[in-house]
Structure 1
Amino acid sequence: MPAWEHFHHVADIGVHGRGATLGESFEQAALALTAVITDPAGVRPETLVEIDCEAPDAELLLVDWLNALVYEMATRGLLFSRFEVRIDGGTLHGRAWGEAVDRGRHQPTVEVKGATYTELRVYRDADGDWNARCVVDV
């Protein structure tokens, strides 16, 4: 079952996505990224942004994906609440749906500056689920 969560880190915030597929774990990590800023349930999936990334391994691909989302949020003034990720080797094609930030309705709590290599890990657990995690700088 797909899921996301935050984990404690001294100065920043950890994001962790879990899913049946690698792509699903990246989708859930992206949802956790949004949840650092605001409640994703309050973000309408009205605007589609497509994102393509390439990296030599899954860990670096996760950082690139999350940083691409941070870039899109910052430059377009958007928040995202729905994600679709397809990964083929070192190539990721992602789709993110969201809407323009409405400070009154979304009440953003922090600004995410970027995904880091701190506690970066992409792996399959004992149950066979994919996990994607790292710390984001706030």
Structure 2
Amino acid sequence: MAECSNPETINPNWEHFSHQADMGVRGIGSTKEAAFEGAALAMTAVITDPARVAPKQPVAVHCEAPDDELLLVDWLNALVYEMATRKMLFSRFEVRLNGRSLHATAWGEPVEVARHQPAAEVKGATYTGLLVKQDQKGDWIAQCVVDV
């Protein structure tokens, strides 16, 4: 499991998994919302260390989709869009799910190349490895592969 370098993060709620030339992102949480938040943080960690990104500016995100898996892809792609158009990175997320509707706030700051040292650019979330489910322990898992 990849770990965030933030020493206050004892149990990170995200991890990466290998997938050929791209990268898998996985969020894990006690709720579906927490798993979606973890997947978003894992996506940030593909680009830079999330601990380097100050959660200064809030950005509202809204998505709707016919099922949880498509909602995850839409959520991550909405974040990719916000990162690209606002030239920002995000390190804190609050997701609220209501049926097939997602309302969220992402907090972040404008990219500073010298400080953030972006390692990759995420082009978008894909349907590859797409999964949103509860495991045997009761934890939620939200995952997919992102195109880098």
TM-score, normalized by length of structure 2? 0.92
Amino acid at match of 2:86: R
- Looking at structure 1, the residues matched to 74 and 107 of structure 2 have their Cα atoms a distance apart, in angstroms, of 18
Offset of residue 4 of structure 1: 0.2
Q: Report the counterpart of residue 64 of structure 1 in structure 2.
A: 74
Report if the CA contact (8 A) 1:2-1:24 is conserved: no
Report if the CA contact (8 A) 1:2-1:19 is conserved: no
Q: Report the counterpart of residue 97 of structure 1 in structure 2.
A: 107
Gaps of 5+ in 2: 1-10
Say if 2:50 is the partner of 1:40.
Answer: yes
Q: Report the counterpart of residue 133 of structure 1 in structure 2.
A: 143
- Looking at structure 2, the residues matched to 95 and 2 of structure 1 have their Cα atoms a distance apart, in angstroms, of 19
- Looking at structure 2, the residues matched to 35 and 28 of structure 1 have their Cα atoms a distance apart, in angstroms, of 10
Offset of residue 11 of structure 1: 1.4
Q: Report the counterpart of residue 79 of structure 1 in structure 2.
A: 89
- Looking at structure 2, the residues matched to 57 and 2 of structure 1 have their Cα atoms a distance apart, in angstroms, of 26
Q: Report the counterpart of residue 29 of structure 1 in structure 2.
A: 39
TM-score, normalized by length of structure 1? 0.98
Offset of residue 95 of structure 1: 0.4
Gaps of 5+ in 1: none
Report if the CA contact (8 A) 1:49-1:96 is conserved: yes
Offset of residue 63 of structure 1: 0.1
Deviations 1:47-100 (A, max 9, x none): 100000000100000000000000000000000000000001100001000000
- Looking at structure 2, the residues matched to 42 and 69 of structure 1 have their Cα atoms a distance apart, in angstroms, of 18
Offset of residue 2 of structure 1: 5.8
Moved over 4 A (4+): none
Amino acid at match of 1:70: V
Amino acid at match of 2:85: T
Count of residue correspondences? 138
